[in-house]
Amino acid sequence: MSSQHAAGPVERVRLLTESDTADIEEGPTRSLYCEDAGDLAFIDMYGNTVSGYTVAALSYHPLRIKRLLSGTTVNAVWGLW
């Protein structure tokens, strides 16, 4: 059984592509995994634009985002559902 609100392990993982116009096809993420250090720019699941969210390399973030924006400086951001 699939659920975006499940507390268990993730069911899907996908490398995200930056876009200033298109939402993530699978819907809001459950969390993110960032391979590199840098800043994230995104739109959260409520439509708020966030920029300058600093992350460390090899880190997980419980962020529900619906779009990864082009201002992101992290080279590899993975969406987890």
What would the pLDDT profile of 24-61 be if each residue is shown by its tens digit?
Answer: 999 999 999 999 999 999 999 999 999 999 999 999 99
Write b or e for each residue in 19-52: b if 16 or more Cβ atoms lie within 10 A of its Cβ, otherwise e. Answer: eeeeebeeebbbebbbeeebebbbbebeeeeeee
CA dihedral angle for residue 41, residue 9, residue 25, residue 71, rounded to 10 degrees = 10
Q: E strands of 10-57, at which residues? A: 13-15, 31-34, 38-44, 49-55
Tokens 């962020």 identify what position? Answer: 63
pLDDT at site 3:
52
pLDDT at site 32:
98
- For the entire predicted model, the pTM comes to 0.90
